Structure 1
């Protein structure tokens, strides 16, 4: 093999000059701002591409605009995006230049409004291309290139990096390659297809990530290694962690994680990242299980597209779930959700390199909106048009792609003696040049299991999560010493130690323990050619009053009831054990209906404290918990943080007395307390929403499995 193919030094990267005058005007205006010490605001979109592009720009420009005058700030847009109201808010910071990042800036009325205020605009965008050029200093949009140009498919984080590269080349001796670790994280989180420039950046960025030069990335890598996760794995690694954290929490926290100089704050944020990801794992498993039941009712042989409407789950999670479904069932997938009115919003994922975007464009007469965002497509339409859209898509795909699903899986057949370092090294060489291509699947025939055990995954508080992992040793006739392995999302009861199996798996490496192991993809019992299943008898009867307000009020005290909305499965397991011991029904006697905005809850909380101090009144703990919809333990964490605002509290019986030591406090302390409050409320609300909506059958299954595991 020609070594140059693997040598990054031989890659010739195109410069940002490909953008022509747009790039020259943009970097010139930014340099003027630097010379004149003008204020620059980076205004980014709240989705992960815009967030990471904003992070790259902040890190790349902070050395030019540092100092006491705080000349470089950022603002993450809400869902409304580039609006006059948001502009009016931003104008309070007196900016001279605004860099708009990933905001689909085609609203010329708002652009002209900004220009009339004497503020110059630089646009970084890639979603759409207006017929007329906006009246701005610079508009960096790769859609201006021909489709075969290397920059045509650039995302926001890629354009931001090229912008900095050109700025550095013209006005500085610094090397932008030190930012490629952040760019790599952005590409991973976006799910961008790696080709050309992206591949070069990814390989360089992966080296920087491995070196752990950036403290925040060191925290990430250490966590991944501890959890035995491949850092650049697009399903579980750093990119997915970031994407989940950004969806569940305030996008500003992602930026703060990489830009703050406060290491203790970084540590707390990293703990929150891990907790968010652990929460998502549990939610993903439950959501997928419900969707699988819905899909079981579909005719996937004749249906060319999976279309599901489900209002139980927060639609923010759909972009994370849709890709798993389309990949598992090898069908393009659209997930719809609507909470009010007749308008439904959906997320569409393709597969088999199918151009689902063009197919959906043919159906635009049925749609209200259609926009492409990296690997998923966002659509909205009237609920009454869902069935018609589904039929049209199926018909169009049958006519144009009749062989779309006639694919056959290919496995590399090995024996246990082949597993280990040499095989892993060969497989990783393939992976290095296409991280979205899974490691080849291995087929090990006629093998059996020993040392089978279940281990519940735990969050950072060492609390058990719903996500279970089976660990084992796999044996065959050629090597009875065996080989370590794991099976995620399954239970030991699904493996019969007295049976022989064909195992489809992948080879992996545990960086922390320095051992190789396999991950099961599919398990086939060769004695009856079926997957091993257990016949489950549910151990107790459950009465579900979660959505029955009248029955909730009439529950007798002697009933074994879960009266507070749980945060962990263990709370349900404890009550179920009491019910089984006393041979009684288990009653789900809780509700959760927190529709208040977190910002409004914060205002309410602060106003409550002010009134309590002003009138020297005691506040009921139960009332505060009810208002914020949190548990007492969670309220305690929030109350302890108030010390940063010079507010103390005293617990008197079941009430609280607030006191103020000083009337002034640092603005950054206020923001820290507010961010902590928002993080905690969002996290608990997400977990409670899950336990309020989880189907009764899932609860029965979890209780049954827990009983089996604890009895072994």
Structure 2
């Protein structure tokens, strides 16, 4: 048995509503069900989701503060005031700033831009930037993707005679800045119908309010920032991103064309996925390792050669960023391992390191969250300033913004969303900060929150899936947050073949069958799963469906996300050179798929191994074969009991059928067996039959009725009959029990007139049959024969 790595959560939907959608919209029942699972309740909403366009956007003046902001900006332009656009250094901030540059150019305004340096200045507004703006003659400042928490900085700008218009989308604090205008759909007194806009989306609404119909190509910038900032692709975001992607496919922006080229993305087929994994990391790399101004220059230049040069610079920075992330990740994991050894896995993981680049700590946090599924905060320590700056990533069970708010007295600054946030604090508060966050997390998180969940779009059979149905799913594009690529659960498929792919064999390809229908699946980075999969096993799988085109052939392919096997599993590692290393390797491969504690993993072996096994594997439940049959617990975990053991590593084969029976019946919850026993077996036994015993008796009768050396006789008969001496000796036990021979001091004598008895009357005969069958299966069969035999035994006791 292998549990799924994630908890699968199929989205519920109303079958009647699905049928109505299918009929009214002339779409397949599958697409109808997917719309419903995305929270679309009416045909009108379904039409808007599928057919919504720019004409369906909300009036920008519904945003609180817009009525005040627009005339102030127009006044500044008419009066030739100097305007400052103040942005943020992430991809949303870069897109927002670039959009405002295009707006300022369009209006003919006098303007400058300011984006703080992530490492040297940190997030948000800064008083020294206000001083610089004042020196430049700025009288109006417009923030994009930042500013909603800048109470003191806005007050300082006001004291300098600078009016501040804040456009932002982050969670508003309790106390708001005294700005000339605050534009944020999340403000409590803002009645704007859609709350999910990115920072660039709010900036675009400002453009709308000022121009009515901004140039359609500006939505390309909106698409980049919205996707990169992981905003929900619903409502207005969906329309803006969809429009932006369509425009991007024929983009006139030199910077976007160059970025697509360097990212290896075909412009004519660009998708939201390309933005998320190709374009956004390169834009973000600018602000992480250098200054975000370089990315802004790329998105605003009109010179193609300059654009290509900048795009290559960002690509190089992104490669550097990847290496920096890997270096910090390894240091952080080492630090976390020490924490785990000293006190267990924390409810909220807080790790800090000297010199860690604060521009990439958010990525490191995401990677550690993915591995441990806990809220994670990674902070870089600057000993020169005595501060820590960092980023947090959280799981659905913990609102990170609320968590930080609970200990805001320990920080200099913080801000963000429920899933991600940034903060800075003095070094001397770090320990108290970690304790406070963990105390808060313990009051919020429950066990169910700590099991990663993957949502699925229902359970389907392979026969439900066709190329035409999958093609129809393109109507759901663009995919992203709140509108993920559809995932399907398919249960009870039979594994026909599994094999690894790639130069390093780190990818997996499966061929599965359900009835008369076949489906291929590919799992990138999961090549090691091939060792845990056996042909003929029944699988449950979950993944994304796509159409694979090769040599003119088109067929469905499942991008496998996860799988589960509910049947017992037997793994044949007989004759492993280093069995203990194999145990650790298999435990690492199985990982969360075992879904249990170390006490549920047992190891069984002969007593002679005990000292070594205790040294290396004492964290598992250790068992030794009892010479009289049965098992003896050999460490404290084993003494807790045997009923919960689900996975058993067999280092030494049982010596008798009784030991085998005891092994199979003792562990009542056993579902996985890994066989690691040595293949250097004693002389081979044959499954006994009457013909074999008849031949032996004839050979013995030729010796006569005088006593002869048993050793010499068995050696002679072994050469004549190609039967092992061990087998012959056990057959002699049968003859002795049936009074066909007599034994005395190493000699045997044929009984001249033996009693008439059947072989089945002999206990030795029956036990020899069981022992020979056991050894035949354990030592002399191929993997398929062995696993089928063991699974039959497992099923017989389950």
| Deviation, structure 1 residue 265 | 1.1
The whole-number CA distance in structure 1 between the counterparts of 2:550 and 2:255 is 19
Q: 1:25 touches 1:137 (CA, 8 Å); kept in 2?
A: yes
Alignment TM-score, normalising by the size of structure 1: 0.59
Partner SS state of residue 147, structure 2: coil
Q: Does 2:81 align with 1:31?
A: no
The whole-number CA distance in structure 2 between the counterparts of 1:266 and 1:28 is 34
Q: 1:44 touches 1:54 (CA, 8 Å); kept in 2?
A: yes
Distance 1:400 1:115, change over 3 A: closer
Q: 1:454 touches 1:471 (CA, 8 Å); kept in 2?
A: no
| Deviation, structure 1 residue 521 | 3.9
Match of 2:291 among 237, 250, 256: 250
Match of 2:503 among 418, 430, 454: 454
Q: Does 2:476 align with 1:425?
A: no
Q: Does 2:450 align with 1:405?
A: yes
| Deviation, structure 1 residue 286 | 5.8
Q: 1:51 touches 1:251 (CA, 8 Å); kept in 2?
A: yes
Partner SS state of residue 378, structure 1: strand
Q: 1:331 touches 1:350 (CA, 8 Å); kept in 2?
A: yes
| Deviation, structure 1 residue 165 | 0.7
Distance 1:316 1:374, change over 3 A: farther
Q: 2:287 touches 2:359 (CA, 8 Å); kept in 1?
A: no
Q: Does 2:518 align with 1:475?
A: no
State the partner residue of 1:65.
Answer: 108
Distance 1:529 1:293, change over 3 A: farther
The whole-number CA distance in structure 1 between the counterparts of 2:382 and 2:437 is 25
Show CA shifts across 1:55-76 (max 9, x none). 111122312217xxxx343232
Distance 1:413 1:12, change over 3 A: closer
State the partner residue of 2:303.
Answer: 262
State the partner residue of 1:179.
Answer: 218
State the partner residue of 1:644.
Answer: none
The whole-number CA distance in structure 1 between the counterparts of 2:250 and 2:471 is 20
Q: Does 2:206 align with 1:163?
A: yes
State the partner residue of 1:277.
Answer: 318
Match of 1:440 among 487, 493, 503: 487
Matches within 5 A, 1:186-335: 186-222=225-261, 223-225=263-265, 231-232=272-273, 236-284=277-325, 287-288=328-329, 291=332, 298=340, 303-311=346-354, 313-335=356-378
Q: Does 2:98 align with 1:55?
A: yes
The whole-number CA distance in structure 2 between the counterparts of 1:175 and 1:513 is 44
| Deviation, structure 1 residue 260 | 0.5
| Deviation, structure 1 residue 282 | 4.9
Partner SS state of residue 106, structure 2: coil
Query: Structure 1: which 5+ residue stretches go unaligned?
Result: 456-468, 539-712
| Deviation, structure 1 residue 28 | 1.7
Distance 1:259 1:496, change over 3 A: same
Partner SS state of residue 307, structure 1: strand
The whole-number CA distance in structure 1 between the counterparts of 2:328 and 2:468 is 38
Q: Does 2:536 align with 1:487?
A: no
Q: Does 2:61 align with 1:17?
A: yes
The whole-number CA distance in structure 1 between the counterparts of 2:187 and 2:453 is 39
| Deviation, structure 1 residue 226 | 5.9
The whole-number CA distance in structure 2 between the counterparts of 1:132 and 1:435 is 28
The whole-number CA distance in structure 2 between the counterparts of 1:275 and 1:511 is 32
The whole-number CA distance in structure 2 between the counterparts of 1:388 and 1:409 is 34
Partner SS state of residue 340, structure 2: coil
Match of 2:415 among 346, 368, 371: 371
| Deviation, structure 1 residue 404 | 2.1
| Deviation, structure 1 residue 263 | 0.2
Q: Does 2:396 align with 1:356?
A: no
| Deviation, structure 1 residue 164 | 1.0
Matches within 5 A, 1:338-349: 338-340=381-383, 343-349=387-393
| Deviation, structure 1 residue 396 | 4.0
| Deviation, structure 1 residue 15 | 1.7
Q: 1:334 touches 1:348 (CA, 8 Å); kept in 2?
A: yes
Query: Structure 2: which 5+ residue stretches go unaligned?
Result: 1-20, 22-42, 582-798
Bigger shift: 291-300 or 346-355?
291-300
Show CA shifts across 1:122-176 (max 9, x none). 3334554584763x5434344543487535554432221111111113xxxx435
Q: Kindly report the root-mean-square deviation, in angstroms, between the aligned alpha carbons of the 2 structures.
A: 4.7
Query: Structure with the greater relative contact order (CA < 8 A, sep ≥ 6): 1 or 2?
Result: 2
Show CA shifts across 1:226-252 (max 9, x none). 699954367524334422343223211
Matches within 5 A, 1:594-609: none
Distance 1:244 1:414, change over 3 A: farther
Match of 2:84 among 41, 53, 60: 41
Partner SS state of residue 354, structure 1: coil
Match of 2:51 among 7, 10, 17: 7
| Deviation, structure 1 residue 262 | 0.7
State the partner residue of 1:138.
Answer: 181
| Deviation, structure 1 residue 178 | 3.4
Show CA shifts across 1:244-291 (max 9, x none). 343223211111111101101111222233333344445545655665
Bigger shift: 248-257 or 505-514?
505-514
Q: Point out the structure with max Rg over C-alpha.
A: 2
| Deviation, structure 1 residue 54 | 1.1
The whole-number CA distance in structure 2 between the counterparts of 1:26 and 1:391 is 43
Q: 2:76 touches 2:82 (CA, 8 Å); kept in 1?
A: yes
Distance 1:427 1:445, change over 3 A: farther
Partner SS state of residue 454, structure 1: coil
Matches within 5 A, 1:659-678: none
The whole-number CA distance in structure 2 between the counterparts of 1:33 and 1:153 is 29
| Deviation, structure 1 residue 84 | 4.5
State the partner residue of 2:776.
Answer: none
The whole-number CA distance in structure 1 between the counterparts of 2:549 and 2:132 is 48
The whole-number CA distance in structure 1 between the counterparts of 2:177 and 2:157 is 16
The whole-number CA distance in structure 1 between the counterparts of 2:322 and 2:461 is 32
| Deviation, structure 1 residue 431 | 6.1
Distance 1:428 1:277, change over 3 A: farther
Partner SS state of residue 225, structure 1: coil
Distance 1:291 1:235, change over 3 A: farther
The whole-number CA distance in structure 1 between the counterparts of 2:453 and 2:418 is 27
